[in-house]
Structure 1
Amino acid sequence: MRRLSAFVLLLVAIAVYGCSKPPVRCTSPEDNPRHHYLSGMELLDRGLFDSAAEKFSRASWCDEKFAPAHAGAAITVAIKGGDPLYQSYKGPDRNVAANEELKKAKKLSKTPEDLFAYRLASMRVATVLKGEDWLEDVQEHHKAAWKLKVDEGNLIFYQGRESADYFMGAAYLEAREFQKARDSFSSVLNSKKDGRWHGPSDKAWKRTDKMVRAISGITLGDVGKTIALRDTVSRADMAALLIDELKVDKLFMGRIPVKPKEARFVPHDVLASPFKEEVSSLIGLGVRGLEPSYDETTRANIFRPDEPVKRKELALALEDIVIKLTGNEKIASAFLGHGQSPFPDVAPSSSWYNAIMSVTTRNLMETELSGEFRPDDAVDGAEAIMAIRTLKHQLNIY
């Protein structure tokens, strides 16, 4: 009888335990999955991947069935794999890990808002991993996100459906479909003036619009299209643009003495560069602003292929190319002797003043609305392409 009573009590205890809710792990006001997910997404956008991963992990620990945490984790794994600091995430393992997190995010989604986070995470992961037919995958998830009937007030991080258009634009930009990217960013700008994605879209639209204008009317090769996307153009990139896109080596043929290929000086710091041949050709042409310079540390002339090209250096190079192609040496001193500069940040006595005047009066380079030239700022890809495009048209080079 006692054994039977004990058995009955055990069954009752099991039943009570089975019906009870899982213990609450996170009890303080801000120690909750929504807060950790939002913090993780914000850290992710700031490039703090480890901290973001910790936040997503904490969100999942607080609530094992919180779908957005896995959506955020998927993006983190995908992006971390592209960083050389995270070699263990590279290759198939990274793809598998990111897709596993996406599967969990989809399976655990309980609301349209959860599914929206999953769809946008899928768009962002596909854009980073670039698997087979990746752009089509992004487009499908974009359409699916817009079909969801979400309460925008409950979109924890994204805050508005227009965020789908922003990341669609980012994908088109990665795919080098600049016109479609510009249209996507424009859709965001037309949807809300004070939304979370208005500022980033405005910046992206201006950059993309600049690219569209830069490449209109010219045919760019793969090198040019890749460089057009860059926020900064390196000296090696610029050499590649001038040789592969403008073809200055062929244009200079017969106009200036050029050293034969076997006699050219090749600095040791470009031997491993993917644009070694282009740099070597450019050095042989002696284009001002992009010459090798003496390095005190190595006690040798080096090219500094990875160093960003400054705007004043591009001005010197463009002016020198015009001089060499036209044979008009007077261009090099046409603006010397000015008592006052039209640029608040360029003195008429500076060594690059004449070059800056040459390129701005020929519309090869632009100033800010304030009139500043920003001589020491780095050249971006769209600006470099636009300069080459304008030079081609002015010199009737096709």
Structure 2
Amino acid sequence: MFKLIKCLIILLSFLMYSGCSLFLADVKTPTKKRKIEPVQIAQTKQNKKIELKKEIKEDHSKAEPFVQRGDTLLFEGKINLAYRQYAKALTSDPDNIPAAIGLAKCYLKENKPEIAYSSLSRIESRTIRTPYAPEFCFLFIQASILQNNNLDNTDLKKIENAYYCALTTYRKKPELYYYMGLVCKKILQFNRAKTFFSKASSFKSQFSEDAYKQINQIKKLEQCSNCNYSQRLPLKSQISRADMAYILYHELHLNELLSKKRYNRQLQQVKDIDEHPLKDEIYAVLPVKLSGLSLFSGAYFQAEMPLTRGDFAQILYEIIQRVSPQIIVALNHKKKKPSIVDIRPSQLFYNSVIFCTQHQIVSSLKTSEFNPYGPISGADAMMGIRTLKKFFNQYDLTREYEK
């Protein structure tokens, strides 16, 4: 019995020792870290890329119906409705290129090339190596030339590259050659401009007649290469603020006309015309303080900013007011006001446009529209000044001019 008890004690001691050893082994033995193979890391990254592409695809699929509806509405001429659809598409997917291109088309249709150019510039880096590149480049050329800004070497390189990119898709589109012709004409590359306009006129489209006109105008410019400034001015398709200052000073003799009026003749400091060839004319008309030719904030004149038809009417109307305010009041009651559909009484130039068209100082368009934000050509501006002189003589407002 004693031996049996002794054996049990030994057995229990052995079991207890074994259990403690196992426990200590579990505590002390550190777990080996699982080694991740490079193949597994690459696979994980690939999976993440696939998931990201799926998310992008889902965003594109959400925006696609809006883009399609926008394209349909734009084709139907419903620009405002199309604009809303493209905006919704960009809300669903801010990186959607077709929606951004659609917005640029809307801006160009609404004659807002500056906004279209800005919109296209934001997506340039994301578009250039995509299937949308030719369409983007075509719109980029159009927006660039319609802005009426001076083109520097950087702009010309971009436009040149855009032309060859757009050519792959728009080879049979006369618009491409027409707008490139305008670019070359602006930078005085007349031979190349005539080549582009000839190409545009070879298509039977709305651009054919305009292209022929451009070719004839270039021929006149070439013949007049040695002419002085006043001889070249009527050939301009759109005059600038500096051109208007020249016309008022040399053609209307504004300073002599208003010589009896009291104006502050003190020379105003203007920051951006020191090197301008028409600096003297600009300084001469500034004291009159016409709203269409006044300084911008910071004492900038922006001499090459295009002048609109509304600006032109406003300037002539203000000159009549300065010469004889009473005549405007008297004549407003005598004639029936013309019906012009594209201006509103709330607009700044409303009275100016009504008065000038009423007395045929500035002609309205044939469709009862005035197009106040459209360009005023050099020829139209000169004709308006001559008509204004006749108006002064007709009502004997000044004896400065003889009939």
| TM-score greater than 0.5 by the shorter chain | no
Normalising by structure 2, what TM-score?
Answer: 0.44
Higher normalized helix content (fraction of residues): 2
Structure with more contact order per residue of length (Cα contacts < 8 Å, sep ≥ 6): 1
The structure with the largest alpha-carbon Rg is 2
Normalising by structure 1, what TM-score?
Answer: 0.45
